């Protein structure tokens, strides 16, 4: 007889992916609804002369992307994404968003028809026709499964260390949202389920762009007031963006962990902020890509790519002038304007007129 236990699989094994694997692997052991084995897709690479999958499966630690934290032994690293996802009931996607489409394509037509996906990826998707969409919509359309999202103020190292924080699940289906909450919630990782998926997801993608702005302020030696202004104007632009593009937008969601809390933590402690600070200090001598490689040991910043995706949307609808912060950050990233121009571009922000 086929097992009725729910299987959870994880696609991705970076800094956040490995942290989520630690939580999921631990939770399924104490919940009789779930199969105890959790397969985790690892984009294979050689680390210290050995395959990363082999290191994870013998040392139970992702020594490259989450060093210093043991993973439960029921988390199994697998280099083949189809093997990871084909028999899963819940598939958690947690990859740098620019790799999502290519990672998902081999899964087309291979998944259980009643499985659902969950995206933890912060960014948008550029379709073949150049249009921008949410990653969860890309998963729905490509893989023909429902897709929930999880966003929040969750710097991975702190979560892996068990420090108290919150997250937001976006789910249109209440039952799926509550099942996912059982997979993820712990006594230190507290979760609220909201139904306006688009807003939860867009908040996660957009705050990384604002965090670049916060990092530029740090690199230009502005003080706390200036950075607070950038964060506030960022929040106003995030809300306006959601009001324009996602009609289901409910303002309560901006005050959940996925909204204001993620904006604050990323603008103070995130990788986007760190790379942007270094970029501003280098005053045009180095690109963001170069600094990402130099500072992050293979981890990825999502803000520059998200800024490009959002700019495509704003330009297509003639909204660039209504979003001076998001637009300026994009132009700084592609070196169309110097970083020193950031604050001047905010002096006549629509919020002040
Ligand atoms: N790290 C964090 O604190 C948090 C990250 N997130 C989001 O989670 C998503 C995943 O981030 P992380 O797990 O931190 O990843 P990461 O930044 O550690 O990225 C590196 C991962 O990308 C993989 N990779 C490299 N090239 C690839 C390719 N061509 N195809 C597929 N995979 C490839 C690497 O093997 C590695 O697993 C991102 O969208 C991020 O914004 C969300 C909350 C917290
Ligand atoms: O999304 C994050 C925290 O919630 C992590 O932000 P960074 O990618 O800037 O580190």
Residue 130 marked in a binding site: no
Please tell me if the CB atom of residue 266 comes closer than 6 angstroms to any atom of ligand 2.
yes
CATH code linked to domain 199-352: 1.10.1040.10
> Which fold does the domain 8-195 belong to in CATH?
Rossmann fold (3.40.50)
Kindly give the distance from the C-alpha atom of residue 110 to the centroid of ligand 2, in angstroms, as a whole number: 31
Question: How far apart are alpha carbons 222 and 239 in whole angstroms?
Answer: 25
227 classed as catalytic: no
Please tell me the distance between residue 101's alpha carbon and the centre of ligand 1 in angstroms: 14
Residues contacting 211, CB < 8 A, separation 6+: 263, 266, 267, 270, 272, 273, 276, 303
Work out which ligand 1 atom sits closest to the CA atom of 102: 30
pLDDT at 249: 75
Token pair, residue 195, equals 């139904």
The verdict on the CB of residue 211 being under 6 Å from ligand 2 is yes
Cα of 95 from ligand 1 centre, angstroms:
4
Nearest CA owner, ligand 1 atom 37: 14
Cβ-in-10-Å burial (0-12, 13-18, 19+) of 79 comes to middle
Query: What pLDDT shows up at residue 128?
Result: 85
For the CA of 105, the nearest ligand = 1
Q: Which strands, in side-by-side order, build the sheet including 116-119?
A: 75-78, 38-41, 8-11, 90-93, 116-119, 146-151, 165-170, 189-194
Distance 270 CA to ligand 2 centre (A): 5
Q: Is 153 in the pocket of ligand 2 (CB under 6 A)?
A: yes
Catalytic residue, chosen from 22, 39, 64, 207, is 207
User: Do 8-195 and 199-352 agree at the fold level?
Assistant: no
Least Cα distance to 27 among 162, 148, 184 occurs for 184
Q: What is the pLDDT of residue 1?
A: 59
Q: Where are the domains of the chain?
A: 8-195, 199-352
Q: Which of 262, 267, 270, 305 to mutate to test the pocket of ligand 2 (most atoms within 8 A of CB)?
A: 270
pLDDT score at 130: 86
Q: What is the pLDDT of residue 2?
A: 67
Which ligand gives the minimal distance to the CA of 106? 1
DSSP secondary structure, 40-97, as one string: EE----EETTEEHHHHHHHHSB-TTTSTT-BPPTTEEEES-HHHHHTT-SEEEE-S-G
| 286 appears as a binding residue in the annotation | no
- Whole-number pLDDT of residue 3: 81
Is the C-beta atom of 212 inside 6 A of ligand 2?
A: no
The CA distance from 291 to 129, in Å, is 31
Structure tokens at 90: 């819940």
Q: What is the pLDDT along the chain (353 residues), one digit of tens a residue?
A: 568 999 999 999 999 999 999 999 999 999 999 999 999 999 999 999 999 999 999 999 999 999 999 999 999 999 999 999 999 999 999 999 999 999 999 999 999 999 999 999 999 999 888 889 999 999 999 999 999 999 999 999 999 999 999 999 999 999 999 999 999 999 999 999 999 999 999 999 999 999 999 999 999 999 999 999 999 999 999 999 999 999 877 899 999 999 999 999 999 999 999 999 999 999 889 999 999 999 999 999 999 999 999 999 999 999 999 999 999 999 999 999 999 999 999 999 999 99
């Amino acid at each position: 007889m086929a097992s009725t236990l729910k299987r959870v699989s994880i696609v991705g094994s970076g800094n956040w992916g490995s942290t989520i694997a630690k939580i999921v692997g631990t939770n399924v052991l104490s919940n009789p609804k779930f199969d105890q084995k959790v397969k985790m897709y690892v984009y294979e690479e050689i680390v210290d002369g050995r395959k990363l999958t082999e290191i994870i499966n013998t040392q139970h630690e992702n020594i490259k992307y989450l060093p210093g934290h043991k993973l439960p032994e029921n988390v199994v690293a697998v280099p083949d994404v189809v093997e990871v996802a084909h028999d899963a009931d819940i598939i958690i996607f947690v990859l740098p968003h620019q790799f999502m489409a290519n990672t998902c394509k081999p899964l087309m037509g291979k998944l259980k028809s009643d499985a659902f996906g969950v995206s933890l990826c912060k960014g948008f998707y550029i379709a073949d026709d150049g249009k921008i969409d949410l990653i969860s919509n890309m998963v729905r359309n490509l893989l023909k499964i429902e897709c929930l999202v999880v966003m929040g103020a969750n710097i991975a190292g702190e979560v892996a260390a068990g420090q108290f924080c919150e997250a937001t699940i976006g789910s249109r289906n209440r039952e799926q949202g509550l099942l996912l909450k059982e997979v993820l919630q712990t006594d230190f990782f507290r979760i609220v389920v909201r139904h306006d998926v688009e807003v939860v997801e867009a908040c996660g993608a957009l705050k990384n762009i604002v965090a670049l702005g916060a990092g530029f302020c740090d690199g230009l030696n502005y003080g706390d007031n200036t950075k607070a202004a950038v964060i506030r104007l960022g929040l106003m632009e995030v809300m306006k963006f959601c009001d324009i593009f996602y009609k289901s937008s409910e303002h309560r969601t901006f005050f959940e962990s996925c909204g204001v809390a993620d904006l604050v933590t990323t603008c103070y402690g995130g990788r986007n902020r760190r790379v942007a600070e270094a970029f501003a200090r280098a005053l045009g001598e180095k690109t963001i890509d170069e600094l990402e490689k130099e500072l992050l040991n293979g981890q990825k910043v999502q803000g520059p790519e998200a800024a490009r995706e959002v700019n495509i949307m704003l330009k297509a609808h003639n909204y660039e002038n209504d979003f001076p912060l998001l637009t300026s950050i994009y132009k700084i990233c592609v070196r169309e304007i110097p970083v020193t121009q950031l604050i001047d571009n905010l002096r006549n922000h629509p919020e002040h007129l």
